[in-house]
């Protein structure tokens, strides 16, 4: 069987092609899956989608009309997929329930350290042989308070690193992680976390209850010199409210690997285009803000695990088996999702 994969990065392509060599072949495309590109999948029973694919009802209808019966998404999040529409169309939908938590946690820390110590500004200056220290003053993180929203695998990995830095630990989640408690974490209401943390990091999924988790009220409750990091999903932060907060001269630094309107921008070269997203353009003007292109997951280990799980999802679908990654199985939603 030949499978078509959308949103394949250059470094990912050889790994994906090698994983699917043998009984299956894969057609790896860089273009993102959306309503304009969906007709490319005509005739393919199995379609693999990248993290920024648009799998709303209209796109799924185009895919189903072309013969697609299985969507194998190469990411953990699935807020971009209309699962009820997929079920109504009799489709199967799989995702990757987990991969290396260290990839994202370490990258989140990279963002935190970069904005705290002004590394991007410093590197830009030294390339111009400007070796002044003006505007590069950072802060010790030792003894300060890290606030971790979401203490699953990734949040726990972030917490372990924070513990190594000698930070005080506050956590917020629907359930406590005993391993984080063993590290000294105190679970508190999120309002207290927002008010007391010096470094805030987001590691929760994007669902209805967490959309704009960091809104204008949350930002107003934070310390003026807090560092805010988001390497989870862009929709967790109200970006317009964030811009207004930054315009007011608040927040020591912000590191964003995700953006709520990133589709159409991230994982593409837009350097020669006019950027018509005023919020994103304004965000990029702040010297204390670092934006990266949804790459926290992008390590050899994590990508390898994502591809391995994707292959297993396809094999299980073809063998009429199910597994923990299946969100819809041949038109049937799990009871918890109904």
Residues identified as active-site:
233, 262, 294
Helix 101-116 vs helix 119-127: crossing angle, to nearest 10: 70
Distance CA(37)–CA(267), nearest Å, equals 16
Distance CA(244)–CA(207), nearest Å, equals 24
Cα–Cα distances in angstroms (integers) from residue 144 to residues 138, 195, 224, 331, in the given order: 13, 13, 15, 50
Phi, psi of 153 (to 5 degrees): -60, -45
Cα–Cα distances in angstroms (integers) from residue 333 to residues 63, 79, 286, 309, in the given order: 19, 15, 44, 20
DSSP-derived secondary structure for 251-313: -SEEEES--TT-TTTTTS--TTS----HHHHHHTT-TTEEE--S-TT-SHHHHHHHHHHHHHH
Nearest alpha-carbon partner for 72 in 326, 332, 338, 336: 326
Cα–Cα distances in angstroms (integers) from residue 331 to residues 84, 94, 120, 143, in the given order: 9, 12, 48, 52
Distance CA(204)–CA(99), nearest Å, equals 15
Nearest alpha-carbon partner for 72 in 14, 1, 153: 1
Distance CA(38)–CA(178), nearest Å, equals 44
- What SS3 string covers 158-212? HHHHHHHCCCEEEEECCCCCHHHHHCCCEECCHHHHHHHCCEEEECCCCCCCCCC
The helix/strand/coil state of 91 is coil
């Amino acid at each position: 069987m030949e499978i078509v994969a959308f949103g394949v990065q250059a470094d990912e392509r050889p790994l994906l092609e090698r994983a699917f060599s043998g009984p299956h072949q894969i057609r790896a495309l860089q273009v993102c899956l959306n309503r304009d590109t969906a007709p490319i999948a005509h005739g393919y029973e199995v379609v693999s989608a990248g993290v920024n694919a648009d799998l709303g009802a209209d796109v799924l209808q185009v895919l189903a009309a072309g013969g697609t019966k299985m969507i194998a998404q190469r990411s953990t999040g699935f807020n971009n997929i209309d699962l009820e529409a997929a079920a109504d169309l009799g489709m199967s939908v799989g995702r990757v329930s987990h991969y290396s938590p260290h990839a994202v946690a370490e990258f989140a820390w990279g963002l935190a350290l970069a904005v705290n110590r002004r590394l991007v500004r410093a590197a830009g200056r030294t390339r111009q042989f400007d070796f002044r220290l003006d505007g590069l003053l950072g802060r010790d993180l030792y003894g300060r308070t890290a606030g971790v929203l979401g203490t699953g695998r990734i949040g726990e990995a972030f917490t372990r690193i924070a513990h190594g830095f000698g930070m005080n630990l506050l956590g917020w989640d629907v359930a406590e992680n005993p391993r984080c408690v063993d590290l000294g974490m105190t679970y508190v209401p999120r309002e207290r976390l927002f008010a007391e943390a010096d470094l805030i990091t987001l590691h929760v999924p994007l669902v209805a209850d967490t959309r704009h988790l960091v809104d204008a009220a949350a930002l107003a409750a934070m310390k003026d010199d807090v560092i805010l990091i988001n390497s989870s999903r862009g929709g967790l932060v109200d970006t317009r409210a964030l811009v207004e907060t930054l315009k007011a001269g608040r927040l020591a630094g912000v590191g964003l690997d995700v953006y709520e309107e990133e589709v159409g921008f991230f994982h593409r070269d837009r350097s020669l285009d006019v950027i018509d997203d005023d919020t994103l353009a304004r965000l990029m003007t702040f010297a204390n803000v670092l934006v990266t292109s949804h790459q926290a997951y992008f390590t050899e280990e994590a990508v390898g695990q994502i591809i391995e799980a994707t292959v297993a999802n396809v094999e299980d679908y073809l063998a009429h088996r199910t597994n923990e990654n299946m969100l819809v199985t041949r038109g049937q939603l799990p009871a918890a999702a109904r």
